[in-house]
Copies of this chain bind each other. A is one copy, B any other.
Amino acid sequence: MTNPLILKLEQRDRLSDEEKKVLENAISRVRVVEADEDIVREGDRPTESSLLLDGFAARYKIVSNGRRQISALHVAGDFLDLHSFLLKTMDHGVLALTTCRIATVPHATLEKITDEYPHLTRMLWLNTLIDGAIHREWLTAMGRLSATAHMAHLICELYLRLKTVGRAEGDTVQLPITQAELGDTLGLSTVHVNRVLQELRKEGMIRFQGDALTILDWERLKTTGEFTSTYLNLQRESR
């Protein structure tokens, strides 16, 4: 199977064979992290970055009363902490939501790439910029959409992102995320997540049984969540 990072980047710009080889060689080792374990902890100063090859992971912060906010959900092909290459100290933790296969890329290798491969550097930078674009979109959804719309928006986004890295079968994706975790992502209580999911189901927009999420009415889901995919930058451009 091809490296999901290459799959992801090639959706946004052409990579030369040499660049692909550099990316493949950047991986120093692959490790497995079990569900509910931390991949990186807040306060860590990693010397390598983690690339998610398989599974689901979340970036999160804990606030004083013990509540948790998930600020990013990650799927195969996503870098979990590429930013630690330059930010140095992790200001949040990253958690495995399922069993995760993770490739590690030493920061020294990243530095070498920035010294020698300008276009590849821009593609890695792009990768972090897309993370930023997703953050802005989430802020908007959180601040100005209803809980139902926000959930619809998240579902649209995750469906597209999974499809991009070949993780969709038709209208169905595997989404092994609990309602409590969805609550921490959307800033809602678990109870309300349940209400909102039932509404989307009752309205015939989705089916969500076990981990299998099926999109039944994409158009209405998009409208409900006020979703447009521009921010995901799914276009190939010269960058």
Residues 65 to 124 of chain A near chain B (Cβ within 8 Å):
67-69, 71-72, 83, 86-89, 91-92, 114-115, 118, 121-122
Chain A contact residues (Cβ within 8 angstroms of B): what range? Answer: 35 or more
Main SS of the interface on chain A?
A: helix
Residues 29 to 59 of chain A near chain B (Cβ within 8 Å):
59
Contact A86-B125, Cβ < 8 Å, known A71-B136, A118-B115: yes
Contact A87-B144, Cβ < 8 Å, known A136-B135, A138-B139: no
Residue of A87, A92, A143, A186 ringed by the most chain B CB atoms within 10 A:
A143
Q: Are A88's CB and B237's CB within 8 A?
A: yes
A226 within 8 A of B: yes
Give the docked Cα–Cα distance between A218 and B160 (Å). 44
Give the docked Cα–Cα distance between A111 and B5 (Å). 23
Q: Are A89's CB and B139's CB within 8 A?
A: no
A231 within 8 A of B: yes
Q: Are A125's CB and B126's CB within 8 A?
A: no
How many Å from the CB of A196 to the closest CB on chain B?
15
A142 within 8 A of B: yes
A128 within 8 A of B: yes
A22 within 8 A of B: no
Q: Which 10 A-B pairs have the closest CB atoms?
A: A143-B187, A135-B135, A91-B231, A69-B140, A71-B136, A132-B132, A69-B143, A69-B144, A86-B126, A71-B139
Q: List 28 A-B residue pairs with CB atoms under 8 Å apart, sorted by A's residue number.
A: A59-B136, A61-B137, A63-B140, A63-B144, A64-B226, A67-B144, A68-B144, A69-B144, A71-B136, A71-B139, A71-B140, A83-B132, A83-B133, A86-B122, A86-B125, A88-B237, A89-B233, A91-B133, A91-B136, A118-B121, A125-B125, A125-B128, A131-B132, A132-B132, A139-B142, A142-B187, A143-B184, A143-B187
